[in-house]
Structure 1
Amino acid sequence: MAGPHHHAYLWLGSGDVLVKPGDAHRRPDHPEFRAAQVMPLECADWLLKPAARIEATFEEPKEAAGWYGAQLGRYAGLFVGTYAPEPSYEETVRALSAGEDRVGGWWVSGGRFLSLNLIGCGPHRVRAERVCPLR
């Protein structure tokens, strides 16, 4: 893709997989990294995962922010107790417009972890060496 955009990534899985002995499988230099379904340790490293892991791609921050909010609504029933994220649509649009990532992670029912990510690309503002997975 040409021009700045954001790729959407989502992971919902067992906390045991997230923290299986150590976190080496969540680092790019580990042989399991590309195939591991779990989220990477560093947000920009999502861009090193296979392109098939991308849930959606957005050129417009408002559309990306809408996706993020919709996913939180979709998974709202999983949040434990009184805790539930309250993202600001306006703040998400502001951050994405500046090329920033929007990243959230929450422990949810059943010992699972939910990770929602909008990762800036074209290039990434912190890790410019990360090539767009859709190239």
Structure 2
Amino acid sequence: MHLHCYSWTGAGEDRELEGERRPPPPPADADVFLASPLPPMRTCDWLLKPAQRIDASPATVREAVEWLADRYRAAEPSFLRPEDEARIGLAVRLAFAEQDLGSGVDVQWGIWLTAGRFFTCAVICCSPNRHADYPCPIR
């Protein structure tokens, strides 16, 4: 197993565009899904996005957790409800992420930001993924 990291920040209302967030069943044309910058509905479907969408491919779970921490900290000044996030806290999020990724479980965080924006970051387990038998997007 190896890991790929993805992120997206945009207008929260765009998440309602489910047609862009779901890959169509074969043999339908997947161009809309592939071209869309929106995060997929299913976490594992990040692996269907073009390889250019990969932000990082950490060599270890520890590096993936550090990537998540960096993304969280970068978004933190814009959190819509920082007091709600403080109830969970970054340390707890990171501990669960390390445990989950070490067990081969994908991790995705989504947080509302100011001005109606939404932030999501994900670390996806690849080759194999528990939820889909997708080929690696870079191999």
Match of residue 18, structure 1, among 2, 7, 15: 15
Aligned equivalents of 1:83, 1:91: Cα separation in 2: 18
Partner of 1:5: 2
Partners of 1:108 and 1:14 lie apart in 2 by 9
Q: How does 1:69-108 map to 2 (within 5 A)?
A: 69-81=69-81, 82-84=83-85, 86-87=89-90, 88=92, 89-108=94-113
Q: How many percent of aligned residue pairs carry the same amino acid?
A: 32
Q: Aligned equivalents of 1:45 and 1:107: distance in 2?
A: 22
Q: For 1:4-83, what aligned pairs fall within 5 Å after superposition?
A: 4-20=1-17, 23-29=18-24, 30-81=30-81, 82-83=83-84
Query: What are the Cα deviations for residues 78-121 of structure 1, in whole angstroms up to 9, with x where unaligned?
Result: 11132225242332211111111111111111101101100110
Contiguous gaps of at least 5 residues in structure 1 = none
Runs of 4+ in 1 over 3 A off after TM superposition: none
CA distance in 2, matches of 1:113, 1:123: 29
On the 8 A contact 1:18/1:38 being kept in 2, the answer is yes
Instruction: Report the number of matched residues.
Output: 129
RMSD: 1.3
The answer (yes or no) to whether the contact 1:25–1:31 under 8 Å persists in 2 is: no
Q: Amino acid of the residue matched to residue 24 of structure 1?
A: G
Q: Kindly provide the amino acid, as one letter, of the partner of residue 70 in structure 1.
A: D
The TM-score normalised by the length of structure 2 is: 0.87
Question: 1:16: Cα distance to partner?
Answer: 2.6
**Which of the two has greater helix per residue?**
2
How many angstroms apart in 1 are the aligned matches of 2:31 and 2:95? 39
Note the alpha carbon deviations across 1:28-54, whole angstroms, 9 max, x for none: 115410000000000010000000000
Q: What CA distance in whole angstroms lies between the structure 2 residues aligned with 1:76 and 1:94?
A: 23
Q: TM-score scaled by structure 1?
A: 0.89
| Map of 2:138 onto structure 1 | 134
